[in-house]
Structure 1
Amino acid sequence: MSDLIPKLDISYLIVKALNGELEGTEEQKLKEWLDESEENKVLYLRVQMRKNRDQRLEVIRKLNKREAWKRIDHGTREHKYFIFKWIYRGVAVAIPMILLFSLYYNKLDRIDRELVKQEQREIHPGEMKAELILANGQCLVLDARKENSIESELEGVRILKENRGIRYECEDLEREIPFHELRVPRGGEYSITLEDGTEVYFNSETKFRYPVKFGERERKVFLEGEAYFKVKREENRPFSVEMGGNCIEVLGTEFNVRYYPEENKQITTLVSGKVKFISEGNKSLVLSPGEQAVLTHEGILSCTSVDVTLYTAWKDGNFVFRKQRLEEVLKTLARWYDVDVFYEDVSRKDVEFTGNIERFERFEEIIDLLRMTGDTDFEVKGKNIFVRCK
């Protein structure tokens, strides 16, 4: 019996693989099972190709029956002589078999529940959430659904919870000024009011490192992701944002910054005031309101006039797209709704999309809107989106 239970666990590993939840040695165990025979590989592919829970469960049930009877038949043949010779040993054989099938059907029930969980995963819009990493390594979970305040005293540093985020208040610090880091996950957004009064709004999948109190000569922060800044004006203390070795210098202004390393470009869009963009290679340009600086991974720095709403609407609860490639649209939506996108037809990446979408719209309604782009179709499986031609 102990030899059969790991065999039945293969079904559970298959379900976890479909959910993308394999951990530790589980992936290696599944690979070893696949390598045992071509039959195993074919069966695994059949499970992957089934479109709904019932069809997948039926294939897995057949797998379990096959493995169960294979092992039971082997065990029965080994003990056949002894069963006929010693009747009372039939009890010893029957009891383990009863226990075996009890475990077997419990395993099926567990697999059934996992398949239901996979098929019924709902796609929700993002929400106010983040993690705050303190200088001592302590992690505070910031969740708008929790009513308790995270107000705390940290040797002269106060962190107060507000409606859309947190606010810092600091006394004069005689010791070395500590840095904190805010991490906003996929499907999240958050905001901070720094100790100088500067307000920063963060989009999904963003990291922000900053001192709890700025020095006398400069105000410098570090960003990876996307954020909207409303910088408190101070003539004698310029504010700067560093992104992957490049820097934005400001005195007092509002601007949007987007820097996701996988996108191979940095975008700074100025709403009001004036900023200076300085690249790692010492190339620089000064932006006026309504202008945008783009630095490519090849080091090309350019400036153009844009409609700033296209790049700042996310802060106010909207997505605005104007003749934007579908690949870029889906990257933006994937971060907010925490989904993964797969292209069965790569030509769909270049389809152009124009539209205004509320940031908290149901994902199914957004997919219906995207289908109106023409001959592009979308299939939603759990939290995976498959893009193809109609």
Structure 2
Amino acid sequence: MDKKSKCRFKGNQDGEIYINDLLLVAKWIAASLTGELTDDEYHLLEKWRLQSEEHQQLYERMQNMERQKLTREKFASFNKLAGWDGFREKQKKDRRKSLRIRIMNYAAIVLLVGGVFYFFAGNESKKLSDREPVSVMPGKPQAQLVMADGKLIDLVEQTGVIKGENVLIHNTRKQISYEDVVHLEEERVVYNEVRVPRGGEYQVKLSDGTLVYLNSLTRLRFPVLFSGQTRVVELEGEAYFEVAKDVEKPFIVKTGTYDVQVLGTHFNISTYEEESTVETTLVEGAVAISGEGIEGKIVLKPDEQFVFDRESGKCGVKSVDVSYFVAWKDGKFRFRDVRLEDIMRAVERWYNVQVVYEDESVKNLRFGFNMSRHETIEPLLNIFELNGKVKINKEGTVLKIRQGR
């Protein structure tokens, strides 16, 4: 076929795209499924995907085919003794071996379905995509930055260097860094805020070097430069802190319920409004907790968790396996003997779905598992259904749960 042969796609700026470009798009999609997509390729793929509804449907169609195949492979040969993580590594190696074959398969689909879109535009193309259920994709790095003047910046769209008041903010696709800050002579504190939506996560490196991992549905407000005798930030949602040590300036996290004060340490705070408790889990170092209803200060040691019950106003400290409470930071779901309703609240936030209980009794069923949270939602739902206690019907982004057998 001539190099300049082309296939028309509805929605492009000029209505045309070269076949060589389609092969490149197929390569990017295949690479995205094996984790080998570069930042530049990611941006080009996103630009192509957002050009038209047809491109979006093609993208979802090809990803769905691959995800469904992977799900079947996993549950056909999953070895409990080897563990999920080991199995995932094997799957990645197998998928990379066949990357070239997959690229050609995807390219053929792009060309074939692209031609179908050309001849059957509008409603007909939508009917084609409706034949296969669309997977619910996992969360990904996405957030908004609120500047001191109230300006909103989409951190996915605007990468590189962002100019703020007295600060140059460096933004990758997953982290913003406040390392180039102009020291002001006057004692004026300039605040920024990062908001992470449902289905998102992001990292913030503060001006003192502290690294903060933000989970879905989380807000962090902080000064672009810490001044005075303390370093104070405000948190709603969930975050993991790796605090840079500064013995002269304690680091304080205000949760709206209580304050957590540290000098330099690693810890996790969960303060979601929809949860009945507020939890601080210490990984290393030491933290002091103070607030209304707390006598003096409560000091935590590593592997301890402070729990405040919003309903009763009671609080306490207990020993825990911290890995279950910080696994989200490392891209994992880890639960042990946890109520289904509690697990599903985390699922709703990460996958941006709605859970409907057709049978209230299933809320108290308890589950435990360990898996990557960067999978589509289908493997997770299969885990719940394996023991037959529940049945989950997925209708778009709505999960309807009832009793199993």
Do these two structures clear the TM 0.5 threshold for a shared fold by scoring above it? Answer: yes
- Structure 2 residue corresponding to 1:324, chosen from 329, 338, 356: 338
Q: Any residues of structure 2 matched to 1:154-303 within 5 Å, and which?
A: 154-162=164-172, 164-169=174-179, 170-175=181-186, 176-283=188-295, 284-297=297-310, 298-303=312-317
C-alpha distance 265-208 of structure 1, shift in aligned 2 (>3 A): same
Q: Distance in 2 between matches of 1:279 and 1:197?
A: 26
Q: Does residue 338 of structure 1 match 2:352?
A: yes
1:310 corresponds to which residue?
324
Deviation at 1:163, TM superposition (A): 5.6
Q: Distance in 1 between matches of 2:360 and 2:159?
A: 47
Q: Aligned partner of 2:207: which letter?
A: E
2:119 corresponds to which residue?
none
- Structure 2 residue corresponding to 1:368, chosen from 377, 382, 400: 382
Instruction: Check the 8 A contact 1:121/1:383 in 2, yes or no.
Output: no
Q: Aligned partner of 2:183: which letter?
A: D
Structure 2 spans left out of the alignment, 5+ residues? 1-121
Deviation at 1:121, TM superposition (A): 4.8
Instruction: Check the 8 A contact 1:126/1:188 in 2, yes or no.
Output: yes
Instruction: Check the 8 A contact 2:141/2:173 in 1, yes or no.
Output: no
Instruction: Check the 8 A contact 1:376/1:387 in 2, yes or no.
Output: yes
Q: Distance in 1 between matches of 2:328 and 2:198?
A: 14
Q: Aligned partner of 1:378: which letter?
A: I
C-alpha distance 312-119 of structure 1, shift in aligned 2 (>3 A): same
- Name whichever structure is richer in helix by fraction: 1
Where 2:216 maps in the other structure, the secondary structure is: coil
Offset from partner CA, 1:205-225 (integer Å, 9 cap, x none): 001111111113000000000
Q: Distance in 2 between matches of 1:222 and 1:258?
A: 13
What's the % identity of the aligned pairs?
Answer: 39
Deviation at 1:154, TM superposition (A): 2.7
Instruction: Check the 8 A contact 1:352/1:373 in 2, yes or no.
Output: no
Deviation at 1:366, TM superposition (A): 1.1
Instruction: Check the 8 A contact 1:318/1:358 in 2, yes or no.
Output: yes
Instruction: Check the 8 A contact 1:259/1:266 in 2, yes or no.
Output: yes
Q: Distance in 2 between matches of 1:363 and 1:268?
A: 28
Q: Distance in 1 between matches of 2:162 and 2:185?
A: 19
Aligned length: 279
Instruction: Check the 8 A contact 1:241/1:249 in 2, yes or no.
Output: yes
Asked which structure has the greater CA Rg, the reply is: 1
Deviation at 1:277, TM superposition (A): 1.2
C-alpha RMSD of matched pairs (Å): 2.2
Where 1:136 maps in the other structure, the secondary structure is: coil
Structure 1 spans left out of the alignment, 5+ residues? 1-108
Where 2:329 maps in the other structure, the secondary structure is: helix
With 361-370 and 289-298 compared, the bigger mean Cα shift is at 361-370
Instruction: Check the 8 A contact 1:119/1:381 in 2, yes or no.
Output: no
